[in-house]
Structure formats: C-alpha cells, structure tokens
Structure 1
C-alpha cells in the first residue's frame, strides 16, 4: 500500500509542474478583438433565395434529354400534399414527390396503371418515368420546369 502511494505521490510531483504552465498560459491569453473593434466592415452573408416549387400546377413534358418529345404526351402535377400524378404516355401514375431545399427533388416509388400500349409508347413511357424517378433537382427556367437527375433531364411547359 505504501509503495502504491509512493508511486502516486511521485507521479503528482512530476505532473504538477507540467500542468501549471498550461494554466498560466490560459490566463495570460487575451480575447481577440472583433471586426467592429478593429474597424473592419463586416460583410453580410450571401443568401441564396430558394425558389418555391409550383405545387398544384399542371406540366406537360416537351423534351427528354434535350430531344423534343413530339407527338408523345406526358404530364406531371405535384399537389400541396406532395403527391405527384400524371400520364406517362401510356399509363397514369402516382408517387410521392418531394421538392426539397435548394431546389432538390425526390420521387418515391411509382404506382402505375397496367394498360397495354404499342412498343413506341411503352419505350417512351419507360424513359420518361425512369428520368422522373431518378430526379435529383428542379428549376424554373424561362417559364419551363426543368427536372434533372442521373437518368436525364426533363423539360415541361405549363399545362392547361
């Protein structure tokens, strides 16, 4: 027991001087002056204004990956309860659609009707819904809704 106390006492004697300079150094530190105290003008932080997603508006697709859609018809509408609905070219669909901060966009799993269509309409619908499901961001550019993601870019005109 005495031997253990001896080691503890020796350790305290050795460690005490090491702790003292840190305390003295902390006490001698001075507070840095603020920008106002130094006379340096403080710039206001740049704030990016978030755009508001046009909830409740109807949109008609006009291009997919930069190519005009032509006579194909595809639509999208996101209601205030964040339910996305529309027509994919052959079937109607619905999904959760979330416009997020900083113009991010997420679309949940799609629910589709099971209508049989010709091969061209089915291929277009698959491409359209794949691009919509993979959406990551949105923007309003010259009155058009632009949705971009890993599977491509969709552009929409406001529908009637």
Structure 2
C-alpha cells in the first residue's frame, strides 16, 4: 500500500504543473530578470546587422592606397558576374578570380598581368596596388566607397561609370 502511495505522489508531482499552466508560467515569469537588471533600461535592443551584398558588375577607381590619397595614378577594378576581377593597375591591365564570401570576406586569386614597360614610379605604385588587392581579406561599403582590407594594407575605391 505504501508503494502505491509513493507512486501516486510522484505522479501527482509530475502532473500538477501540467494541470496548472497559468501558475507554472507565472513562476517562470517571476524568475526572469527584468530589462533593468540586465542593464537594458530604456535602451533599445540592437538588431543583428544585415549582411551587405558585394557590388558585382560595378566599376571602381582607386582613390586611396594604405592611407595615402591617389591623385596622379589611375587604377581600376571591376568584379563581374563570373567572379572575374579585371582592371588597370596604372601601367598594365590585369585579371584574377575574385570571390565575395559570407561575412564580407573577399578572396582574390593569382593575378594575370600584361607586361608593358612604364617608368619606375608607376610600376612601384602598380606593384603596391596589386599586392594589396591580392592580399584582400575583407570588404565593406562605407559612404558609397568600396574599402578592401587585408594583410598588405587597405584600398579605398570610388564608383566610376
């Protein structure tokens, strides 16, 4: 008989919360910390940022290389729908595979380059531009400008026609 009472008590303890959902919900609400306790106060809860879409098919011109403005050099970049990056480095034209990835990452493959001869200053600029482009790991759109960042530095590009 005592065994039956013990089993009945266990069943009653398990079934009682199911029969009183309002009371169980009230207990859970009381245990939840308030916004003030969480430090939220009257501030809005930040929403997760929506991932940006890479501007495929847009033409860009370099306006800044590693923090220095580019006035007298012309360098361009465009990544097409076939994920092929093409452009002009200041002396030579180039192409490379270029893959925009999740979380605003960018992978640029080996660069194929024409072999025109130019003055040393122009070739030095082109080498710096292409080295920075090849090492790009992240991209962002900031105030209508394309920013490419990587281990070799940063490129800032402006949209061109």
The two structures share one fold, judged by TM-score above 0.5: yes
Question: Which runs of at least 4 in structure 1 moved beyond 6 Å after TM superposition?
Answer: none
Q: Distance in 2 between matches of 1:121 and 1:98?
A: 27
- Residue matched to 2:130: 129
- Residue matched to 1:73: 74
* Residue 153 of structure 1, CA deviation: 0.3
SS at match of 1:157: strand
| Deviation readout 1:119-140 (Å, 9 max, x if unpaired) | 0110000000000000000000
Kindly report which structure 2 residues correspond to 1:44-123, keeping only aligned pairs within 5 A, or say none: 46-123=47-124
- Residue matched to 1:140: 141
SS at match of 1:73: coil
Kindly report which structure 2 residues correspond to 1:5-44, keeping only aligned pairs within 5 A, or say none: 37=25, 38-39=28-29, 40=32
Q: Distance in 2 between matches of 1:124 and 1:114?
A: 15
Number of residue equivalences: 125
Q: Distance in 1 between matches of 2:109 and 2:137?
A: 11
SS at match of 1:95: strand
* Residue 48 of structure 1, CA deviation: 2.6
Q: Distance in 1 between matches of 2:47 and 2:107?
A: 26
Q: Distance in 2 between matches of 1:150 and 1:46?
A: 30
Q: TM-score, normalised by structure 1?
A: 0.73
- Segments of structure 1 that go 5 or more residues without pairing to the other structure are 1-29, 31-35
* Residue 45 of structure 1, CA deviation: 9.6
TM-align CA RMSD = 2.2
Q: TM-score, normalised by structure 2?
A: 0.72
- Residue matched to 1:13: none
Q: Distance in 1 between matches of 2:67 and 2:114?
A: 27
SS at match of 1:90: coil
